[in-house]
Amino acid sequence: MTETIELTINGNKIRTQGNKTILDVCKENGIYIPTLCHLEGLSSRGSCRMCLVRVEGAKNFLPACATEVKEGMVVITEDEELLSLKKSILELLFSERNHLCMFCEKSGDCELQKLAYRFGLDHIRYSFSWKKFELDTGRKYFLFDQNRCILCRRCIRACEEIAGHAVLTVKNRGPELMVCADLDFPFNQSTCVSCGTCLQVCPTGALADKYSAYVGREEVLERKRTVCTFCSVGCSIDVLSRDGMPVRIEGVWKEGPSEGVLCVKGRFEPFYDDRIRISTPMIRKKGELIPVGWEEVEMMILEKLREFKEAESWTGLISSKATIETAKAFKELFKEKSYLLGSSGTKVGNTSLSELDEADSIILAGVDLDKECQVVSSFVKRSANRGAEIVVIGSAGEKVDIRATRKLKKLEVKEIVNLIETLSNPVFLYGAKVPSDLLGKILMSVRSLRYIGLASGYNTRGIEKEGIASWKGEMINGAVYLLMCDDEPDSRLKDCLSEADFLIVQSSFESSITKKKADIVLPSPSWSERSGTYINTEGKKKKLAAVASPLGLTRPDEYVLTRLKKWSE
């Protein structure tokens, strides 16, 4: 147990735990200390020198972020000499690179700029000595402007310590010192996976999201908390919107399951979906889809219900992006004729993803983390960075395989069990490609094994829990209700619906099925308009909140399902 100590800060006696830094104690007690390179959750470097404090007995000023408190320590956080020194540091930072705020995307939200205002920096005594650095715009989703960089190295530490990818470093010395990717590759040629963690920690305009650039300061953006629905992990996210339109997605620090780390699918790709939205109900008349109101389309569906006798004679296919509330209504309507497009493919594990950070070894099987549940690769790479053993059976994706300390070619029970018995604190992380009987044999042999199953799809666990079985891919005749949400239909689904006598498609976007095959098309909320409950790959309930208003006449997916149920009774 850490002992309690007493120290004095600015003349006040403070009792605290002895394993904290001066900055930690000051934050806990409401004492302001300026910082630039420091960020909670990252290792401290003390490189910006903005947090310097005076400690009695020390020959020089000490960085508060990197100095541990001691019994009897006397600290002064602010005096005339310290204020003058920190103001000079800010002047040097402004003179070293181009920080002309009126041209910077980050103006108004920049931490450097805020400190300049706080310290009354209205001019700079030094000449502007910066050289012009080339702008790196090669990455699709973000740009890197070395001219705005203050070399705080937050991005470097976050890339390694939080995201685990360890892509960023520095090159050159003196005025030529700059951040680079890998061995000085342009971002678009590097091993960067576009997770965007570096953007979220950058204190200036050096790293900027292209989509949300110049749309407004933080104070004019509305921030809403919800859950990412682009894989089964269910990361907590903040969606920033302006005038009801989402413009940026950020991870939520210290909130599971990913603790703020996101992947390219969750942070950037939703804004680059150029498919055409469906915003109103449509009925096919004389071969053409005609927009109609809800009353007219409901009357036609009622007529078709009578024509095809009853709802139980229909076949219902539901996307794994549907909420639990929608799945309940779907199951009540179509009963045993309701089917899930896809399946989880794995059972719920007996531990959580956060346990990967404590494991001495991780065994990976049956999942490609470069493509599936990409954010989980951050957990694996973080573990590799701290020296954990990474065992890959087959392949876990090219970018993960290179971190492996050991590789096995095949899924063989005896070999895997023998391996597990040699490891001190392993976690078995597996995907849908691992046969359930093989997993069962492993768990029977090593009953104490901690394991995590990564579910395919999105809310597959939640929908399966409602008793909706997976569709096997057989041909479907008769009447069909296809709830696609914002998924894109694959070729197998298109082929199997070719003989359907009547087809209703509820979807967020136009597709070849809505254009050519559907008799009735209903709008479905997009990712930003959907609300309800999901169950993630860990088996935990996650609450979705709509962060944007529905487009046009779009209503919740369960709206028409509950009305159909009422009509069929």
CA-based nearest residue to 147, from 113, 181, 103, 183:
103
**413-422 and 436-445 are packed helices; what angle lies between their axes, rounded to 10 degrees?**
40
Domain boundary among 221, 238, 272: 272
Structural domain contains residue 50 = yes
pLDDT at 312 over 80: no
Question: Cβ(515)–Cβ(534) under 8 Å?
Answer: no
User: Are 213 and 179 members of one domain?
Assistant: yes
Which position has the higher pLDDT, 222 or 302? 222
User: Are 145 and 246 members of one domain?
Assistant: yes
**In the prediction, which pLDDT does 569 show?**
63
Structural domain contains residue 88 = no
3-state secondary structure of 361: strand
**In the prediction, which pLDDT does 560 show?**
87
Alpha helical stretches, state H, 283-435: 294-307, 324-334, 376-385, 398-401, 413-422
Dihedral Cα 406, 408, 412, 417, nearest 10 deg: 0
pLDDT at 558 over 70: yes
Structural domain contains residue 22 = yes
CATH number, domain at 523?
3.40.50.740
pLDDT at 152 over 90: yes
Tokens of 532: 């309800």
**In the prediction, which pLDDT does 423 show?**
92
Distance CA 517, CA 378 (A): 42
pLDDT confidence band for 568 (50 / 70 / 90): low
User: Are 113 and 257 members of one domain?
Assistant: yes
Count of Cβ atoms closer than 10 Å to residue 567 Cβ:
14
Structural domain contains residue 94 = no
Mean pLDDT over 238-255 rounds to 96
Domain boundary among 396, 425, 454: 454
pLDDT at 387 over 80: yes
Tokens of 200: 């979220």
- For tokens 């509820």, the residue is 506
Question: Cβ(14)–Cβ(2) under 8 Å?
Answer: no
User: Are 212 and 314 members of one domain?
Assistant: no
pLDDT in tens, 429-485: 999 999 989 999 999 999 999 999 999 999 999 999 999 999 999 999 889 999 999
**In the prediction, which pLDDT does 411 show?**
87
Least confident residue range of 31-40, 129-138, 287-296 = 129-138
Q: How far is CA 24 from CA 20, 27, 44, 53, 281, in A?
A: 6, 5, 11, 13, 56
User: Are 332 and 240 members of one domain?
Assistant: no
Tokens of 452: 């995590």
Mean pLDDT over 355-366 rounds to 95
User: Are 476 and 564 members of one domain?
Assistant: yes
Q: Which domain holds residue 48?
A: 4-78
Mean pLDDT over 246-259 rounds to 95
HSE of 195 in the Cβ direction (CA atoms, 13 Å)?
A: 32
User: Are 438 and 479 members of one domain?
Assistant: no
Mean pLDDT over 71-83 rounds to 96
Percentage of the chain with pLDDT > 70?
99
Domain total in the chain:
4
Mean pLDDT over 539-544 rounds to 97
Structural domain contains residue 98 = no
- For tokens 């969750």, the residue is 266
CATH number, domain at 429?
3.40.228.10
pLDDT at 567 over 70: no
Structural domain contains residue 522 = yes
Structural domain contains residue 97 = no
CATH number, domain at 124?
3.30.70.20
**In the prediction, which pLDDT does 564 show?**
79
pLDDT confidence band for 131 (50 / 70 / 90): confident
Q: Mean of the per-residue pLDDT values for the chain?
A: 94
User: Are 441 and 521 members of one domain?
Assistant: no
User: Are 233 and 292 members of one domain?
Assistant: no
Tokens of 330: 């779907």
pLDDT in tens, 416-431: 999 999 998 999 999 9
**In the prediction, which pLDDT does 176 show?**
86
pLDDT in tens, 260-290: 999 999 999 999 999 999 999 999 999 999 9
CA-based nearest residue to 115, from 89, 140, 138:
89
Domain boundary among 250, 272, 294: 272
pLDDT at 1 over 70: no
**In the prediction, which pLDDT does 130 show?**
82
3-state secondary structure of 484: strand
**In the prediction, which pLDDT does 224 show?**
97
User: Are 466 and 563 members of one domain?
Assistant: yes
pLDDT at 77 over 90: yes
Question: Cβ(169)–Cβ(179) under 8 Å?
Answer: yes
Structural domain contains residue 87 = no
**In the prediction, which pLDDT does 302 show?**
83
What are phi and psi for residue 5, nearest 5 degrees? -125, 170
User: Are 310 and 185 members of one domain?
Assistant: no
pLDDT confidence band for 546 (50 / 70 / 90): very high
pLDDT in tens, 374-385: 999 999 999 999
pLDDT in tens, 315-349: 999 999 999 999 999 999 999 999 999 999 999 99
pLDDT confidence band for 58 (50 / 70 / 90): very high
Q: Beta strand 74-76 with 52-55: parallel, antiparallel or unpaired?
A: antiparallel
User: Are 331 and 373 members of one domain?
Assistant: no
